[in-house]
Amino acid sequence: MAIVFEKTKGLTEKPFHYCPGCTHGIIHRLVAEVLEELGVLGDTIGVAPVGCAVFAYDYFNVDMHEAAHGRAPAVATGIKRVHPDKVVFTYQGDGDLASIGAGEIVHAAHRGEKITTIFVNNAIYGMTGGQMAPTTLVGQKATTAPYGRDEAHTGKPIRISEMLATIDGAKFVERVSVHDPANIRKAKKAIRSAFEVQLSGKGFSIVEVLSTCPTNWGLTPVEALNWLKENMIPYYPLGNFRKPEEVE
Amino acid sequence: MSKVLMKGNEAVGAAAIKAGCRYFFGYPITPQNEIPEFMARELPKVGGVFLQAESEIAAINMVYGAAGSGARVMTSSSSPGIALKQEGISYIAGAELPCVIVNMVRGGPGLGGIQPSQSDYFQATRGGGNGDYRHIVYAPASVQEAVDLVMEAFEVADYYRNPVIILGDGMIGQMMEPVEFKEPKKRDLPPKDWATTGTKGQRKPNVINSLYIDPKLLEDHNLRLEAKYAKMKENEVRYEEYNLEDAEVVIVAYGTTSRVAKNAIAKCAEEGIKVGLIRPITLWPFPDVAFDKISDKTKAVLTVEMSTGQMIDDVKIAVNGRKPVYFYGRTGGMVPTPNAIVEEIKKIIGGDK
């Protein structure tokens, strides 16, 4: 019988701890599949964040570092400078990357650090229980914004991809979503392009993946997918913001 | 090899490269800038990498990444910058990675000043970061000793898989002295088979981590670390003792202050006052054992520091009530004079002889 789908070798046998309906699992799989398809699993070193993906080092079947909150791009820099021939990636959430780690990601991009960042944006702090993130939408409720995010009080959500796209060292910047199968396929293509940019030695690459948090949004998994589509995508438009000419 | 005249900071950089350090991540701060400047100039010549990070926090996390990747790596800073590095130092200790961190101490608190100080003793020896962890702290008293200890520090760091601190001060960093680069004693070091180098599909993934969500596993980890620290206490204590046998007063001082103390001891000797010295070279582990050598003839112990009194806590623990312990210090970047120390000694023994 022909095998039409099998689990990627890029993931370990450890069951995910993620909540039902959370899209971290899909994003993990896409990254692992791309690394396997590029034939670089044995030459990859990943960096896990602090946040919901803190245990990513248990799931990716590659050498891994666990970083302090927000510091993954700095840790990845240290790794890549020692092992310039290895594939080095960070996997970070929006609290980690867009808030406490804003400095590290900007400067890694600015240096044109030859690493790839998978930036999972679900507009909330998941692991700590639903606090407001810099990416939380105006009006969106969070445990530390119980009346909804008020622009006059905490500003508007930060658009990381647009910001990083202004930096010359960032050679590939794309925002994707995983709320339906068509977008999942596009997300995988972007992740592949990002790693290919790293392999070509051109510079920094990042894929921002819009993701759901049904638990902390207080929605069912299906409602959460719809909420992402209807509320996040209008504010966080999908598409490529920067790529080398030869990447289609 | 013949001696060369070198500034302390540059000698520290040269010693690191001689010891096989090939990666340096730092951020500018006075009075240690000659270290990153030296590394920026010299590391590329030996195939190494110098990288100026965007902050001390980023620099220490780059060290974490490089150390976990199996490299000999160093960072340096001065007091407020070392405060920022504490997050990373705690992670490095927790993940059991080797690296060398140099602190050319300046006055504090806060932005403080840029003159030499010893007011980071607590930060260095008590663990400025979170959690149950320890690291060896070497306190050189000369440029030559700084060179020797930096070279040794890389061996010690690899041997224990632990960060090692070199606690200098602005004086050690800025002064010029003749130095000789001797081969450090090589330790029997196991291969770094724990490092992240890519699995090549040949082994299970290596993970560099300090997270143990299960409290029992974290306790086991803490106890394993504690056993390692006990070995450091057993094997790595270093100190210099000077004129202890018939001293009326024993001074305890480290680094720059110990040199001033030696001048004070010579002045006392001219006046017939016998004064000894215990100079801790490792501030952690503290040389408690040295204090067992204080003789019955000794009336008191005088701790001299460039701070308002930090090491004195360890001195009191080591003396354990056997003698009265006095303190004399200058702080904020002021350096004690030999005469001021002589005056303190005379006060302690009850006036001029």
CATH of the domain at B320: 3.40.50.920
In this structure, the answer to whether residues B339 and B266 fall within a common structural domain is yes
Q: Cβ of A75 and B65 within 8 Å?
A: yes
Q: Which of A12, A60, A78 sits opposite B25 (nearest CB)?
A: A78
Domain boundary among B203, B235, B267: B235
In this structure, the answer to whether residues B287 and B185 fall within a common structural domain is no
What CATH number is associated with residue B82? 3.40.50.970
Distance CA A35, CA A43 (A): 9
Q: Cβ of A43 and B202 within 8 Å?
A: no
Domain boundary among B178, B212, B235: B235
Q: Cβ of B65 and A77 within 8 Å?
A: yes
Residue pair B301/B326 in contact (Cβ under 8 Å)? The answer is yes
| Adjacency order of strands within the sheet including B136-138 | B49-52, B23-26, B73-77, B99-105, B163-169, B136-138, B282-284
Closest alpha carbon within chain A to B24: A78
Measured between CB atoms, does A68 come within 8 Å of chain B? Answer: yes
The beta strand positions in B128-285, using DSSP E, are 136-138, 163-169, 176-179, 207-208, 239-242, 249-252, 275-280, 282-284
In this structure, the answer to whether residues B8 and B150 fall within a common structural domain is yes
Residue A246 lies in a domain: no
Domain residues for the domain of A155 are 24-240
Which helix (H) or strand (E) is A88 found in, with range? Answer: strand A87-93
DSSP state letter for B206? P
Q: Cβ of A62 and B198 within 8 Å?
A: yes
CA distances from B329 to A110, B273, B343 (A): 46, 21, 13
| Structure-token pair, residue B104 | 């050319």
Task: Name the region of A177 (left: φ>0; alpha: ψ -120 to 50; beta: rest).
Answer: beta
DSSP state letter for A98? I
pLDDT, tens digit (0-9, with 9 covering 90-100), for B138-195: 999 999 999 999 999 999 999 999 999 999 998 999 999 999 999 888 999 999 999 9
User: What domain count does chain A have?
Assistant: 1
Residue A162 lies in a domain: yes
What CATH number is associated with residue A165? 3.40.50.970
Distance CA A236, CA B310 (A): 53
Residue A80 lies in a domain: yes
Rounded to the nearest 5 degrees, what angle is found at the Cα of A37, between the Cα atoms of A32 and A41?
55
Q: Cβ of B68 and A78 within 8 Å?
A: yes
Q: Cβ of B197 and A75 within 8 Å?
A: no
User: What domain count does chain B have?
Assistant: 2
CA distances from B245 to B241, B274, B280, B292, B336 (A): 10, 10, 17, 12, 25
* Per-residue tens of pLDDT for chain A, all 248 residues: 889 989 999 999 999 999 999 999 999 999 999 999 999 999 999 999 999 999 999 999 999 999 999 999 999 999 999 999 999 999 999 999 999 999 999 999 999 999 999 999 999 999 999 999 999 999 999 999 999 999 999 999 999 999 999 999 999 999 999 999 999 999 999 999 999 999 999 999 999 999 999 999 999 999 999 999 999 999 999 999 999 987 76
Domain residues for the domain of B8 are 4-235
Q: Which amino acid is at B279?
A: R
Q: How confident is the model at residue B351 (pLDDT cuts 50, 70, 90)?
A: low
Tell me which chain A residues have a C-beta less than 8 angstroms from the C-beta of B66: 78-79, 81-82
In this structure, the answer to whether residues B202 and B130 fall within a common structural domain is yes
Residue A3 lies in a domain: no
Measured between CB atoms, does A161 come within 8 Å of chain B? Answer: no
3-class state of residue B136 by DSSP: strand
In this structure, the answer to whether residues B231 and B308 fall within a common structural domain is no
- The C-alpha of B71 sits at a distance from chain A's nearest C-alpha, in angstroms, of 7
Tell me which chain A residues have a C-beta less than 8 angstroms from the C-beta of B211: 54, 66
Q: Cβ of B209 and A65 within 8 Å?
A: yes
Distance CA B182, CA B142 (A): 15
Residue pair A26/A178 in contact (Cβ under 8 Å)? The answer is yes
Tell me which chain A residues have a C-beta less than 8 angstroms from the C-beta of B91: 67-68
Residue A13 lies in a domain: no
Residue-level pLDDT at A248: 66
Residue A213 lies in a domain: yes
pLDDT, tens digit (0-9, with 9 covering 90-100), for B269-305: 999 999 999 999 999 999 999 999 999 999 999 999 9
Q: What is the ipTM of this complex?
A: 0.97
Closest alpha carbon within chain A to B90: A68
Domain boundary among B179, B206, B235: B235
